[in-house]
Each structure stands twice: as C-alpha cells, then as structure tokens.
Structure 1
Amino acid sequence: MLEVNRPEFSALCIHDSFNKRLRIEDYRGNISSISHYIKREMNKHQLEKAIIKSRYEQVESWLKYGYRLEATIPSYFNGSTAYLMTFYESQERQVHNYYVKENNLLEKVQLLPLKCPETLVLPYKLRKAVKSDAKQLVTLYKTVFTIYPSPLHDLIYVQNILEDGTLFFIIEYEGEIVSAASAEINKVYHNAELTDCATLPSHRSLGLMKHLMVEIERELKKEYVYCVYTIARALSLGMNAAFHQLGYSYSGRLINNCFISKTLENMNIWSKDLSTLKNGL
C-alpha cells in the first residue's frame, strides 16, 4: 500500500504490476488531479486497468473522466456503499469475454435455494491455520491454481501472513489440508474480504467451503465486522453457488480483473451484511 500525498489530494494506492492494474483503495481531495495522477502512473508503469473505490457523491465526477461503474460493495465504508469505478488504458483489457456464458451461470446460481451447511462429517476437521501450516497451504494453492493474484505460492509470504494474524481457516482430511480460506479485515472501515478460497479437486462437491465461510463469519462478528464481501471467478459454478446459498448478494462484475490459473478472468462481487443475521441465514 502506497500513501500518495499531493497539495490537491491524498490517496492510498496499490501498484499491482503482476495483474497490470492500479487500485485506489481510498482518497480525498480533487478528483481531476487524482485522475491525472492515475493516467500518469498507468503510462509510466504500463498498467492496463485502474479501480477506484468511490463514494456515491463522487460517482458522477468519475464518469466525467471516462470511468465506468462495474460493481458495488454495500456498507463498505462503515455502512456506506463503495462504487467500484474502472478505467482502461488497453482496448483488449476492457473486452467482456464470456458475457452470455457468465450471465447464464449467474442466473442458474440465483435460482438455487439458500442453504446452511450441515455438520462437518469426520474425518474432516476445521480449525484456524497456524504458521506451521504454511508449507501445506502453499502445496494446496499450487495444486489448485497455476497462477494466483497474490503470492500464495511463496512460503515466506504465507508464513508472514499467518504470523501477522490474518484470519485463516483450514479443513484437514487425515492430516492433510484439503480446503482453506481467509479474511482480510479493513480496520478503518470495518469490513472484510473473504479470499484465498481453495479446495482440492478430490474433495469438492462436499460443501467444505461453506463450512469455512460460516466459521469466518462467526469470527468477524466477534470483531464487530459486519460488511463481508468476496470476489469469485465469474465462470466458477461452485464458488458462486456457495456464496449465493449462504445469503450473499451479487452486485456486479469486474472485467479481466486478475490473473488466475492461466489467464485474466472476470470476477463477480458478492456481499453480505452480518448485522442482520441472528442464527444461520
């Protein structure tokens, strides 16, 4: 995270060279100046896409500078919606591949009934991940994803995030980690992104990810974090179905957002307000 301070504005930026994008996580000040800064940085670092988390009051201003709305995250800013405004420097990057296929999948998913996971059956065991799990986690992510947007193939990186207290849960089968997920908590705006979701192919269709999500939600509520969201591969029936059935709401699609497996993929946004829940959905 890079804090950029200029006379006209202040912004928190992430230069994501791996995914060839610039993310503006927060900002204040003159939008015209921020827009010029973004264009300069994109040209300087050969980035293809910019993503800005905007407040409602400034959406119209971003539209004037050529940005477009791709998705929202309700309640992101301590109860106020974040509007994900995007800008492209690459013609190819903004092409919406698989538009009909992804919409058909989404329609199919949203017809499914809401459903809480049943009791996790033995010998599967769910627990918090610890630093000594890092090696197995790296093996899991290398098996599931040829390429991943964050460096989960790097043992040192995984050890560090576990040591730093990232909310990470795993499911084991006979001592082997077969499924995992984490939550990145924004302590300023009290929201959390559910991410790093992976299950070994031989253990899918058992609803393991739903068990992980429910456990993470319980932990987040203990921290008084109620806005929860996730970014799911738009062509993944299993992941989109899992979040829909757990009561998450779809709120848009980020085009050619990040590299996963072998190519850039479109990603669906799903979110949930944990403050409205008592038990279950």
Structure 2
Amino acid sequence: MTRSDPVIRVGRSLIQHGRYNNRIYLMKLDPGDTDRIIGWIRGTLEEEGYTKVFAKIPQSASPEFEREGFGVEAEIPGYFSDGDSCLFMGKYTDPSRREYHEEGVAATVRTALERADSGHHPLKEGYLIHEADASDAEALAGLYGTVFPSYPFPIDDPGFIRDSIQSGETRFFMMMHGETLLAAASAELDPDSGTVEMTDFATLPEARGLGAAGVLLGHMEVIVRDDGYHLAYTICRGEEPPVNILFARGGYRFAGTLPNNTRIGEGCESMNVWYRSLLTNPSSD
C-alpha cells in the first residue's frame, strides 16, 4: 500500500482521495463547481465505500453540503479575501469513524491554551534558517522519511518535494547547523484566499530542545506576511501536546477538531485546526 493518497482535479477544484486515509478530502472548492463536486462525491462514495468525506469550503457554500449530510467540525473566520469564513465539514458513512477520544483531545487543547500567546525563543547563535530550493529535495525527503513513519502526503519522495517547490505552491524552510539539516517546515500557499497552511514540521531527535519549530514558524510568518498573505492556519495531531502548544504559543486560536481524519501509522488520528491573522505582529519571544 502507498503511504499517501493521490490528488486530482475535478473541474477547478482540488480533491485527495484513496484507501490510505479511507476518505475523500475536498482540499479546495471552486464555488462554481459545487453541484458537480457533490455529485462526484456521491458517485465516488458509492463506488469506493470510503468512511469519511472531509471538505474545506467557504461558508457561503455550506447549505448545499449540509443538505448532503455534512456537519461543521471547525471554522476559521475571515479566511477568504471577501471576509467569508472557511468551514471544515465532515460526512461519515461509518458512524464508528465519527467517534473519537474527545477527552484526550480536550486535555491536549487545555494544555496548549495554558501557554497561549507566550511566544517562541529566538534562533540560537550558530544556527541558520535557509529557504529550500529544488536542490534541497533529497535532504528534505531524507529528513521527513527519518522523522515520520507515515504521512498523509508523500514528503519522503524527493520528486514530490521538488515539484512542490518548483510549482511555487509550497515553500520549504530548513534549520541548519553548518551543513547539517536539523529541522524543516513548509508554508503551503493559497494566493486566491491569501492564506497559508503551516505544516510539515519535523525535527531530528538530536536537535529537540533547540526550539526549532517555533523559530521556523515565526520565520515563515514574516516571509509570507511580507508577500501579502493575511492568515495562517494548521491542521495538527489532536493528541500531541507539543505541536498544539507550538501554535498556541504563537498566538493561534483553536478552531475545532476533525475526528479520525488522517492516517498516521496504523490508524486514523483526530486533528486540531488552529489559525491566526498575520496582520498582527508575528510570534516572537
């Protein structure tokens, strides 16, 4: 079995679907495609029998999805350039996939919120942040393959990383000590909405404790804000305190939980959504 699911276009919209996550993920909806997408989802569910559909859509398109049996799981206000909110909506064909460890996720969120807005430490002397280009794809893929036993996208594949960089859709950033790559993260850009998904954070075990993720997050915020992006968000593991604390410390707000959304290892994990406006000062110490 592959370690990720393919991404396709349906009309002008973007969808990931497959057996690996046993789901359909509507990554980007062109509002003009709404009826076509809903029809495609119906047909694909009937044919493939996936247990979840996960849709990231403008709030203005939500009535059609609600009529199709979708419910809101998270919301980011002011996401789109016209001021519309972004809704993360879910539909389940297997009721058991809707059930998740709510107590564990809630405890993680509480722990993160105790550190809210406390900021991140600056980059330590002797370390540098370097924006990756296509020649760094092999090193990045090696880092991700070492840190993550599985991942929803094939970031352990140098070709995937190289294509992402060359397309301009994703900017990868690397924390270096001399010639050694210690940590990395990426900013996935959506010019249409002016938003950025902060994702793909990975730190080698020997570099933990250096505050690499916080440094990378703050650096990426400054870069993309200066390029005109107005909002950043993330979809992170719901019961992993460190990554939730990372975003809470950086001024991100909790938007909701996506039950049993993403395959990590041998099972599906629930994911938390956090967001922040980049029109305020970026996270700092």
What runs of 5+ residues in structure 1 fail to find an aligned partner? 6-10
User: Cα offset for 1:280?
Assistant: 4.3
What runs of 5+ residues in structure 2 fail to find an aligned partner? 1-6
Identify which of 30, 40, 43 aligns with 2:46: 43
Q: Give the secondary structure class of the aligned counterpart of 1:231.
A: strand
- Residues 119 and 34 (structure 1 numbering): CA distance in 2 closer, same or farther, change over 3 Å? closer
Question: Does structure 2 conserve the Cα–Cα contact (< 8 Å) formed by 1:136 and 1:176?
Answer: no
Q: Give the secondary structure class of the aligned counterpart of 2:29.
A: strand
Identify which of 243, 247, 252 aligns with 1:243: 247
* Matches for 1:95-106 after TM superposition, within 5 Å: 95-96=99-100, 98-106=101-109
Identify which of 195, 199, 208 aligns with 1:195: 199
Q: Which range is displaced more, 136-145 or 56-65?
A: 56-65
Identify which of 211, 215, 225 aligns with 1:207: 211
Q: Give the secondary structure class of the aligned counterpart of 1:161.
A: helix
* Matches for 1:73-88 after TM superposition, within 5 Å: 73-78=76-81, 79-88=83-92
Indicate whether 1:139 and 2:142 are aligned. yes
Residue identity matched to 1:130:
D
Q: Which range is displaced more, 112-121 or 191-200?
A: 112-121
Q: Give the secondary structure class of the aligned counterpart of 1:276.
A: coil
Question: In 1, Cα distance between the equivalents of 2:54 and 2:220?
Answer: 27
User: Cα offset for 1:235?
Assistant: 1.3
Q: Which range is displaced more, 75-84 or 208-217?
A: 75-84
Q: Using the aligned pairs only, state the percent identity.
A: 28
- Residues 120 and 276 (structure 1 numbering): CA distance in 2 closer, same or farther, change over 3 Å? closer
User: Cα offset for 1:262?
Assistant: 3.4
Identify which of 148, 157, 173 aligns with 2:160: 157
Residue identity matched to 2:129:
L
Identify which of 122, 125, 132 aligns with 1:122: 125
Question: In 1, Cα distance between the equivalents of 2:126 and 2:138?
Answer: 21
Question: Does structure 2 conserve the Cα–Cα contact (< 8 Å) formed by 1:126 and 1:169?
Answer: yes
Q: Give the secondary structure class of the aligned counterpart of 2:156.
A: coil
Q: Deviations over 1:122-161 (max 9, x none)?
A: 3322111122222221121111110011001112112222
Question: In 2, Cα distance between the equivalents of 1:163 and 1:4?
Answer: 23
User: Cα offset for 1:36?
Assistant: 4.0
User: Cα offset for 1:120?
Assistant: 1.3
Identify which of 1, 10, 14 aligns with 1:4: 10
- Residues 32 and 241 (structure 1 numbering): CA distance in 2 closer, same or farther, change over 3 Å? same
Write 1 or 2 for the structure with the bigger share of strand. 1
User: Cα offset for 1:50?
Assistant: 1.2
Structure 1 residue aligned with 2:4: none
Question: Does structure 2 conserve the Cα–Cα contact (< 8 Å) formed by 1:76 and 1:82?
Answer: yes
Question: In 1, Cα distance between the equivalents of 2:273 and 2:192?
Answer: 21
Structure 1 stretches of 4+ moved >4 Å:
29-34, 278-281
- Residues 82 and 113 (structure 1 numbering): CA distance in 2 closer, same or farther, change over 3 Å? closer
Q: Deviations over 1:27-80 (max 9, x none)?
A: 436967653431211222332221223333443443333211111122222132
